[in-house]
Chain A
Amino acid sequence: MDLQTHIQKTLLQVAELANCQISQPLTDDTVLLESGLDSLGFAMLVAQLEEELGMDPFSEMQIAVYPRTLGEFIHIYQQAAGSS
């Protein structure tokens, strides 16, 4: 499974676990904080991906970068995976 599919699948799993309703189909343009996932759900997604992928790009940054859209979020993981 490629990273993009993996992240989207994990997002849906976490949303269910976090009791968050994802209203729209997920696309690269989905705005994370408007997707139905709240800040707790988003934190759970990053924690779940850390368990599954063995990395948390947000904790490794020297200067914090925060993604607005799902596409930006996936890109950060792709970059981190490519550089590690």
Chain B
Amino acid sequence: MMAFWQQLPQTPPDRLAVDGALPLSFEQLHNRATQLRNTHPELYGKALALEYTSTTEFLCALLAFDGWCSALYLLPDTTQELAMPADLMHWPADTAVKTPLSELCHSTEPALETVWYLATSGTTGTPKWIPHRFASLCRAVKSNPASALRWGLCYQPYRFAGLQVLLQSALSGACLIDASSGDAHQRMQVFKRYQVNALSATPSLWRQLLMTNQLAELPLLQLTLGGEIADQPLLTKLQQLFPTARVLHIYASTEAGVGFSVSDGQAGFPEAWLQQTRSGIQMRINAEHHLCIKPATVPVRSQHIVVDADGFIDTSDVVQLKSGRVLFLGRANGAINVGGNKVHPEQVEQVLLQHEAVLQARVYGKASSVLGQLVVADVVAKPGSDLKKLPSQLMQLCLTQLQRYQIPTRYHWVSELANNSSGKLSRKESNV
């Protein structure tokens, strides 16, 4: 088994990571990672929480500590409610314990199989840690040691989507340009400045990049769509703008590790794939029309992952067979996907119910041609409430407790909400 740093290409290009004005070569990265490891022997075999400060620092730490620590927890920007294991070391350390120079050693300890933990917001709205093996995280990485690609990084690398791009560029020896913050215009300026030719983004972000009317100025060779359902008009538009480029959409399930990519320019994936084993992955559709995946590597044991007797993981993604394609319809658990951000209806309902005028609330997703889905709420308001003022009051309330994408965009005032036979609120079918 080889650690991340041992898998870096042998003949790297000059520059790997461009983080603002700070380019780092492969050799510099390698050296810094080695130095980190050697000056922190106390971290060997320990579980480490990695905080993101910048993309290059994050990449250095990943290179240094994969194979060195027993576990790496990639801390998300909000760690509220996230249960942290005991005895967790932190990086960067609050009080840096520097090993005296005399104790510096070129350690010969064997590389460990580090478990990587990524945070997911989970199915009930409570964030959870999902364990991954490095090999499964790299499953979709295409190794091309002489890669001339310059990847634009659109997401912070502690998120699944961002980490995939980081690993792809590092392991294929491609240049990585950090544009993980800023609006569509600011990102476009960074992409243009560095002549980015490979991009991975959600369909929603691709739509925003198209709205800048500058996308065609990029010399794109590789276009990847992920994190949301890729629709046919968008796929057709991108292929039309870049006729010789490779346009692919990725299906990934956090629960199942990595999924697969589709490169034929069509939405969904060929039905024939259900009868094949592709890159070690098997798929089938269960009785509730959920896609189930049997990954190539056995997933790390976790109480949050349900594996059936045949080794298939229920992804909770509802699919439909149509004209020889398997098309994605949405999440079975009612989770709403707003531009790649997961929203759990229950969490939003809890906030709405705090308002004295809200007697009952049901939150669900409404199809949006711009962001995939939008959050909508059916509300039973207290009789006599001022329905003209209530939306702005609820907006103010939500702003204090929710992310912007979680806040309902539209209220429907209803006289009652149905409960199902078990007495729970009936969940409206998500209208994807």
Contact = CB atoms under 8 A, between A and B. Distances in A.
A74 B366 CA distance: 23
B183 A19 contact: no
Interface residues of A, number: 27
Interface in B189-211: 204, 207-208, 210-211
Contacts of B233: 61-64
Interface string B213-256: 10000000000000000010110110010000000000000000
Interface of B: 183-185, 204, 207-208, 210-213, 231, 233-234, 236-237, 240, 338-339, 366-371, 374, 391-392, 395, 399, 404-405, 409-410
A2 to B, nearest CB: 23
Contact of A17 (B237, B366, B391): B391
Interface in A59-75: 59, 61-68
B185 A34 contact: yes
Contact of B210 (A16, A47, A64): A64
A46 B405 CA distance: 16
A3 interface: no
Q: Is the interface of A mostly helix, strand, loop or mixed?
A: helix
B183 to A, nearest CB: 7
Contacts of B184: 33, 39
B28 to A, nearest CB: 36
B370 A39 contact: yes
Nearest to B239: A63
A66 B392 contact: no
B240 A63 contact: yes
A41 to B, nearest CB: 9
Looking at A42, A65, A66, the one whose CB has the most chain B CB atoms below 10 A away is: A66
